[in-house]
A and B are shown apart, each in its own frame.
Chain A
């Protein structure tokens, strides 16, 4: 059964392979509730969100959630030599690059803790899967072509993990290279497969910011597989399984 809601301005689709009964519906509801709560906490559009108040120096003791998101952001910023940066070039914080993947991963953990073992959560193009759609089959995740909306550039089968894509084709060049403060233009899209969506999401954004060199970099940061598309449509890919053993 699929449950659809728009949270964080993004259509989210939760596919639970359990029967559509009260238990499933309640679980889906609590997952979306969690996402709405984190949206309220981190919303850049609400002056009273914890993030906005933190920005203005009005938060003495950040919540564990804010502390965790800031710590994830700081970690990726350091690992990417500054290419990934939640500080906007014009001042202020944009935690979107961390919050969505992190919050969706938490929602999935919640569902798993409640015993849901076969599910697929697609948050506006970022995907977490557990188990499979049916016995003996893994979830098949298509990766959309940045150039042609109804074509795929790859299909990956994932039993447990996340697939995140960052690209310039839906919302324009909203990713900048934190090292230069300018729009990142070396790639039009980057897709990362990793064990969880928190990792996949920040790595996909970082690869987009870093450009083609980010592919190899991401493999050293927990990515299992990376696919990047250059503006001319050519691909760069990397597979952690093909790297020489460390």
Chain B
């Protein structure tokens, strides 16, 4: 790996709201309290991981920058895009969120604006089925069920849902 490529990796990390989120929903951490599995294909030294994750945090500056492809190894889905949603006027007040995508994963969602007041936010939360498309931290991810393209009985044996069902 060249130095230039390494820098690319670092910038890419900085753009993320936290590298832990890259491990997003890896099912290494799903059913039980397992430690997060390392991300295959990640070329990032552990020390840098910590630094970057502690860095940009959830400042949420809408930054529609796209980093070039991951200089790392075979991981196919690592370009990062942060998209600021439009401000939506809801009956409960203005709502705006910023979503960071890493390839196929939602790496982070930051609420830029939300209706204030406990009462109104409760109503707003109830009014939409989505409370948050939140960061799925591998350690804290709690998944009760999994939605996916319809699987047959054969596919089911391979599916995460079968693991969840076996657990219960």
Contacts and interface: CB of A to CB of B under 8 A. Distances in A.
Interface string B82-117: 000110111000011101010111100000000000
Nearest to A162: B129
A141 interface: yes
B150 interface: yes
B146 A122 contact: yes
Contacts, number: 206
Max chain B Cβ within 10 angstroms of own Cβ: one of A147, A166, A235:
A235
Nearest to B159: A149
A241 interface: yes
A1 B159 CA distance: 20
B132 interface: yes
Interface in A201-246: 224-225, 229, 233-235, 237, 239-245
Given A151-B105, A154-B106, A234-B103, A146 B150 contact: no
A242 B147 contact: no
A191 B147 CA distance: 8
Contacts of A4: 165
A156 B133 contact: yes
Contacts of B133: 154-156, 225, 237, 239
A216 B42 CA distance: 34
A99 to B, nearest CB: 12
A4 B164 CA distance: 12
- Interface residue range, chain B: 35 or more
Interface in A185-201: 189, 191, 193-195
The A interface is mostly helix, strand or loop, or mixed, namely strand
Contacts of A193: 129-130
A80 interface: no
B114 to A, nearest CB: 10
A120 B145 contact: yes
A22 interface: no
A237 B25 CA distance: 18
A150 B97 contact: no
Interface in B116-135: 126, 128-134
B149 interface: yes
Contact of A2 (B79, B147, B156, B168): B168
Contacts of B99: 237
10 contacts: A13-B145, A143-B147, A147-B76, A151-B27, A152-B105, A155-B143, A164-B147, A191-B147, A224-B129, A225-B128
Interface of B: 24-27, 76-77, 79, 85-86, 88-90, 95-97, 99, 101, 103-106, 126, 128-134, 136, 141-153, 155-156, 158-162, 164-165, 168
In the A-B complex, the 4 residue pairs with the smallest Cβ-Cβ separation, listed nearest first, are A167-B149, A152-B25, A144-B148, A161-B129
Given A146-B149, A153-B105, A170-B151, 14 more contacts: A1-B168, A15-B144, A124-B151, A125-B159, A140-B143, A142-B25, A147-B77, A147-B104, A149-B159, A152-B24, A170-B148, A194-B129, A237-B106, A244-B88
